[in-house]
């Protein structure tokens, strides 16, 4: 079965915290913008030349922390009781 990212994200649940667990300095001006390609949940987008990041729907893989060569992505896990819940079985 071949399903898209939105359907895949629909298989997990989130308890969204008001406090961001990932802070992104969107003032970056690098050419490569690797963060757009690292995130398996597609949480980074480019709007009018600026990086936008939506932490809701983050599956907490931590990849984005390593995507930015300039260290503009500050990844932390959400506070206890918040974040992604995976369903098994």
Q: Give Rg (Cα) of the chain.
A: 14
Which of 5, 54, 46 lies closest to 29 in space, CA to CA?
A: 46
CB of 39 to ligand SF4, least distance (A): 3
Smaller CB separation from ligand SF4, 8 or 29: 8
Residues in contact with 87: Cβ distance below 8 Å, sequence separation at least 6, in sequence order: 11, 12, 13
Beta-ladder partners of 84 = 14
Q: Which of residues 5-64 bind ligand SF4 (CB under 6 A)?
A: 22, 38-41, 43, 58-64
CB of 89 to ligand SF4, least distance (A): 23
Smaller CB separation from ligand SF4, 17 or 62: 62
Binding footprint of ligand SF4 on the chain (CB under 6 A): 22, 38-41, 43, 58-64, 75
């Amino acid at each position: 079965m071949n399903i898209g990212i939105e359907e895949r994200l629909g298989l997990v649940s989130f308890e969204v915290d008001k406090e961001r667990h990932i802070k992104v300095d969107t003032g970056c001006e690098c050419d490569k913008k690797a963060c757009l390609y690292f995130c398996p949940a597609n949480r980074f987008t480019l709007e009018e030349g600026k990086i936008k990041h939506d932490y809701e729907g983050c599956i907490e893989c931590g990849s984005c922390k390593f995507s930015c060569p300039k260290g503009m992505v500050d990844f932390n896990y959400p506070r206890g009781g918040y974040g992604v819940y995976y369903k098994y079985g």
